[in-house]
Structure 1
Amino acid sequence: MMEDAHRTESLVAKSPLPFDLDDGRDELNLAEFPLAAIADRVPDNQKTLVFEDRIFDSGRSEMITRRLTISASDKFGLPTSLDDEVILGLIQLTKQNRFTERKVNFSRYQLIQILGWRHEGRSYDRLEKSLKRWLGVTLYYDKAWWDKDEQTWVDENFHILEQVTLYDQERRLKRLRSSNSEPPLSSFAWNEVVFRSFKSGYLKAIDLGLFRQLEYAASKRMYRFLDKRFYHKSRWEFDLAEFACEHIGVSRNYDTGQLKRRLQPAIDELEAVGFLEAMPIAQRYVKISRGQWKIVFIKKSVPQVELLGKEESQLIKRLADRGVTPSVAAELVREFPAELIEMQMEVLDRLLEKKDRDSIRNPAGYLVKSIREGYAPPKKQLQTKPVVLTETPKNSSPIEKAAPDQSAVDAYLMALTPTELAHLEETMLEHVGATLAEGYLRSKQAKSSAFSVYRRMVLERGARQFLSTQCKAEKSAA
């Protein structure tokens, strides 16, 4: 069994979504056990995954062992965490058809939008490999598939997908040019067992906006499993080893300490997005006996929504535009100063101006964490455009008629000498907001590369202040 990958692959789409992220669906059997390793890659020689647990079956009035065995084809191998997300995306496509047909027509671009992947070649290649991989995967459920109609755990053995037809854009356009008819869409067909579960209504709502905001594969698996369980009650206790290994997919070779370390980043992330109540470690992990521990989860209660003013509503929208779910955005606006939120959005926007996005692989998750923690720069922080520390000839005047826009700000700062820049920086630190000043000082003390972001923001505020004053003076003189 593969150990958890540190992060899922980052493939972020920019296009408008064709559906409401808050209104997703998940099949309950598929949320109970992992369908894939939670790593990005699986060794070529590994062709089987097994997950099992023991529960009390009220229908039989006895304890039973539930077991899921996942068997892969030799050519395409076992599914990974991204493949698991593809299945969730296919469920959303089927929901758009109101679960009326086992065969679903779709475009690959549409599915990539749902998944939140970038609209680029490697996303299409990754999607094609995933769909082919699922065709070769066999699932063996031993007393582990819930038949809603019969109200019992049953044995079921099937391929989750029975057919996949893919048309790339070039072929579709060629068909359109040659026949002037509507080009064909790609399609897939569910196995009858899965589709029958859809039709019986064995589904739950899922907040796909929150799901897509999560960075770790373990976080996403934990969210799906716990979100199902929280439907019944808001507090759950599980055997630590069974929860980690059989429902999240952490390696069974780990000892208790290693299991905790593997789970904790995912738990921290689910706390940060407002899904789990934060708990001290001593309350999260409870020792039962030698070598036996339990893990405790409490769903975070949703605060009563009060009427928000126009400014707060606009701030929520701006957070949502950056990928933060509306519910989390509303919570942030209620709990944190607007100045802090504004500053962290500005920092994020500046960092994302660069082409290399690897330093912030999950912008929405980073933004939420940076607001909650006050300051949380990523490890591989991006540098902003440096200030040019050169003198400008005295007879030049780059800002003589410029308005106080970004180009004028850049021109003004480039015209200052190093001594003048240092003076401006020192002066403005006494006048900028406390939040910006704190971020500046903390990043400077930590020698973080984020310091250049904060320094640039301080200097730009000084430049804008000067330019605005100059503009008013020129208008008065006129």
Structure 2
Amino acid sequence: MEASDSQKRHRRLEAFEKGRDELNLAEFPLAAVCNRHLDGTKTVVFEDTVWDEEKRKRLPRKLTISGSDRFGLPTSKDDDVLLACVQLSSLENFDQREVHFSRYELLKLLRWPDETRYYRRLATSLRRWKGLTVYSDRAFYDKARRSWVNRDFGIFDNLYIYERDEVDKAAAQADSWLVWNEVVFGSFEAGYLKKLDWDFYLRLKDPVAKRLYRFLDKRFYHSDRLVMDLGELAFNKVRVSPNYNTAQAKRALMKGIRELEHLWELRPMPEEKRFTKVARGKWEVLFTKDSRKRPSPKRPEEVIDPLCTELTRRGVCQATAEQLVKEHPAKRVQATIELFDWHNDRGEERGAGFLVAGIKSAEAYAKPRGFQSKADLEQKRQASAAANRKREAELRRVKQRELQNIKAAEAPFLAFWDNLSSQQQERYFAEAVAAADRTKRDGYQRLKEVGGPVFEQYRQLILKDHFHRAGPPKAG
């Protein structure tokens, strides 16, 4: 059978590897690298300087982002979703501002599980981007005008989310749609884009590594060496917590840096060479590109424990996930994952720390009211199946006894009837009809011309009633 258009589109999304990144989005972190905002922040301001070719000097620039009261500011998962939307436009060669899709397709593109909580997460993320406003004071580069511009705009002008695609799944058409803001789409049309290894991006686990990969890949276009102020990189380009001190900022960056050193073209170096103190309270960070390296190939799926994959999908870094699976019983890991999902599906958000602490703890988390693990459900299912089998066996025994009793009760009549000649049977049946009660006799007479199963039942009842009432005819 030939695959439908939607199935072909889904396969294309699953196999998608090479994409595009918009250079302004690679430069400015509109999304935080944390999984959620704990302080309720709705507005963030970024300030730095930019070289102005016309005036031949560095000028200050400022970018302000403000989220909606309902959905707040984007986080690391939202950054993935926005970038996936860019890939949807890339697949259509950035032909038009309006992009049609289904949430199922976005799940496939992001390689997220096909589960209810992820459909809801996508909807929240898209609405979060719809509610975001960007205020640019010489911060957003307009390639068509070849200048940094003062523009205030959103990411999406319009958004429609079709709710039934969670049910329709692979059969769903592209019934959701978004409309890019003209400023963002104008940047697409002007070609202010760079290549992006989408497959490699998705294989990165740490949000800092993802953010650094996009930023450094953009900056390495001009030079294989980059030196930056630590604070500017950490707070304005990667966007770690603004409450971090220098030591905390370095630790947060190093986690992502190590992943890029291992998997990407970033040249490894000791931490003391990576970070250099240039003055009191002022540090610089050095990056160099090793062009001889290439992104590491995919790890064969068969060597990755499925529980590791489930943990990393929920925010646990790869190394920690592997350690947890190696050191703790699979049953405990699975139960903690299920409890994590149960809380999040109910809107009781839990982070990766909940998983790690629950698996490592000497005592398992207490099961909240209403929670049932897969093991519990399987145990109940097996118990219910066993009870059903026992009940069905008893019903079969009862039915068999009833059949035996019926056969035993009918045996004398059958023996008698089989010993009669045809004429005797006709004469005996005529006597039985004449002696039958009115209801059965009327039913027999009414169906006599029609025949059929009901008629035959009336006939048998009349015969057997007469046999049990009058017995066999007397001899002679």
TM-score by length of 1: 0.61
Q: State the alpha-carbon separation in 1 of the partners of residues 30 and 37 from structure 2.
A: 13
Q: Between Structure 1 and Structure 2, how many residues are aligned? A: 321
CA deviation profile, 1:380-414 (whole Å, cap 9, x unmatched)? 5366789xxxxxxxxxxxxxxxxxxxxxxxxxxxx
1:150 shift after superposition: 1.5
**Are 2:44 and 1:49 equivalent residues in the alignment?**
yes
Within 5 Å, give how 1:341-380 maps onto structure 2.
Answer: 348-349=303-304, 351-352=305-306, 357-358=310-311, 366=318, 377-380=322-325
Change (3 A) 1:27 1:183: closer
Q: State the alpha-carbon separation in 1 of the partners of residues 271 and 308 from structure 2.
A: 39
**Are 2:290 and 1:300 equivalent residues in the alignment?**
yes
The aligned counterpart of 2:463 is: none
Change (3 A) 1:327 1:134: closer
Q: State the alpha-carbon separation in 2 of the partners of residues 139 and 385 from structure 1.
A: 46
1:152 shift after superposition: 1.1
Query: Equivalent pairs: percent with the same residue?
Result: 41
**Are 2:236 and 1:246 equivalent residues in the alignment?**
yes
1:263 shift after superposition: 0.9
1:62 shift after superposition: 1.6
Q: Contact (CA 8 Å) 1:359, 1:380: kept in 2 or not? A: no
Q: State the alpha-carbon separation in 1 of the partners of residues 134 and 158 from structure 2.
A: 16
**Are 2:78 and 1:133 equivalent residues in the alignment?**
no
Change (3 A) 1:360 1:119: closer
- Aligned match for 1:143, one of 138, 141, 152: 138
1:327 shift after superposition: 4.5
Q: State the alpha-carbon separation in 2 of the partners of residues 72 and 83 from structure 1.
A: 13
**Other structure's SS at 1:242 match:** helix
**Are 2:96 and 1:101 equivalent residues in the alignment?**
yes
**Other structure's SS at 1:79 match:** coil
Which amino acid counterpart does residue 225 of structure 2 have in structure 1?
A: R
Within 5 Å, give how 1:2-81 maps onto structure 2.
Answer: 18=13, 21-43=16-38, 45-81=40-76
The aligned counterpart of 2:116 is: 121
Q: State the alpha-carbon separation in 2 of the partners of residues 165 and 71 from structure 1.
A: 21
The aligned counterpart of 2:175 is: 185
1:302 shift after superposition: 2.9
Q: Contact (CA 8 Å) 1:44, 1:77: kept in 2 or not? A: no
Q: Contact (CA 8 Å) 2:104, 2:165: kept in 1 or not? A: no
Change (3 A) 1:184 1:287: closer
**Other structure's SS at 2:205 match:** coil
**Other structure's SS at 2:260 match:** helix
Q: Contact (CA 8 Å) 1:69, 1:140: kept in 2 or not? A: yes
Q: Which segment is superposed worse, 242-251 or 182-191?
A: 182-191
Q: State the alpha-carbon separation in 2 of the partners of residues 96 and 117 from structure 1.
A: 19
**Other structure's SS at 2:296 match:** helix
Q: State the alpha-carbon separation in 2 of the partners of residues 230 and 254 from structure 1.
A: 27
Stretches of structure 1 that go unaligned for 5 or more consecutive residues are 1-14, 177-181, 304-325, 331-340, 371-375, 387-478
Higher Cα Rg: structure 1 or 2?
2
Change (3 A) 1:355 1:36: closer
TM-score by length of 2: 0.62
- Aligned match for 1:381, one of 326, 330, 338: 326
Which amino acid counterpart does residue 310 of structure 2 have in structure 1?
A: R
Q: Contact (CA 8 Å) 2:261, 2:268: kept in 1 or not? A: yes
Q: Which segment is superposed worse, 77-86 or 18-27?
A: 18-27
Greater helix share, structure number: 2
- Aligned match for 2:277, one of 278, 287, 299: 287
Q: Contact (CA 8 Å) 1:25, 1:206: kept in 2 or not? A: yes
Change (3 A) 1:359 1:82: closer
Q: State the alpha-carbon separation in 1 of the partners of residues 136 and 330 from structure 2.
A: 56
Stretches of structure 2 that go unaligned for 5 or more consecutive residues are 1-9, 332-476
**Are 2:320 and 1:329 equivalent residues in the alignment?**
no
Change (3 A) 1:20 1:65: farther
CA RMSD of aligned residues (A): 3.1
